[in-house]
Amino acid sequence: MFVPESPKDAIRLQKELAGKVVICPLPANFRFLGASDLGYFSLPAGDRGKDRFCVAVILVFDWPDLNLVDEASHVASVTFPYVPGLLSFREVPAMLEAWRKLCIKPDVFLCDGQGIAHPRGIGLASHLGVILDIPTVGCAKKRLCGTHDELPLQKGSRTPLFFQGRQVGVVYRSRTGVKPLYISPGHRADIDSSVKVVEKCIGKYRIPEPLRQAHRRAADLTRKAKLFRSSEILC
């Protein structure tokens, strides 16, 4: 994947990729669902101070039972600065490497990030979906853009998320009284089918179970890297 040299170049590339996003229903029947998350850690780098790394994890589950059938991880140097709205340029390169290591490729991919609910319509889920040309769904814990009506506190409550006059997603309450999730189609998905997939992944917790497990695995590998003070142990 091409990594731009500056935020200005990244924004230009985002606008190009946004034009390639396809909005359509997810496959009615599919076999495998993927979910991903990342962890970050730093290691001493001599005179340079500290080097920053990320650990990308992809888990693959059978559908709809959600039994874990495959997983892969990859550690990479973080080379792009943190800029709101440009998160995918920090995370997608490592995720692509983890993807290449999978024996079972998912048919639908659930991302901990935005889909089209993004100022330029190309959040992490959309970016990854376009690069891999696979159906992706964004399920974020925070809102990046848009407005919505007040959401009831009851589990299952939902309300449309609007940005610049069009609906880009749904604000969804996965558990009574907890903060909502922000669901939006990534690529080769639409709003209704994206929400249905996320709903079927909700267990006892606020976060969909595949994303929760991916987060725990990424956190475990990140702690392991810090303990051994090495990025190579994860490769």
* Total tally of structural domains belonging to the chain: 1
CATH number at residue 43: 3.30.2170.10
Q: Is residue 156 a part of any domain in this protein?
A: no
Residue 229 forms part of a structural domain: yes
Q: Please give the full DSSP string across 69-115, using - where no structure is assigned.
A: EEEEEEEEE--S---TT-THHHHHHHHHHHHHH-SS--SEEEESS-S
**Ordered per-residue pLDDT tens for the chain, 235 residues:** 567 878 889 999 999 999 999 999 999 899 999 999 999 988 766 555 567 889 999 999 999 999 999 999 999 888 888 888 898 998 999 999 999 999 999 999 999 999 999 999 999 999 999 999 999 999 999 999 999 999 999 999 999 999 999 999 999 999 999 999 999 999 999 999 999 999 999 999 999 999 999 999 999 998 887 776 554 544 4
Q: What whole-number distance in Å separates Cα of residue 43 and Cα of residue 34?
A: 29
Element holding 129 (H helix, E strand): helix 124-132
- The structure's pTM equals 0.91
Structural domain boundaries, residue 13: 7-146+182-234
d(CA 199, CA 166): 23
Is residue 172, in this structure, part of any structural domain at all?
A: no
Report the sign of the C-alpha dihedral through residues 73, 140, 142, 200, in that order. negative
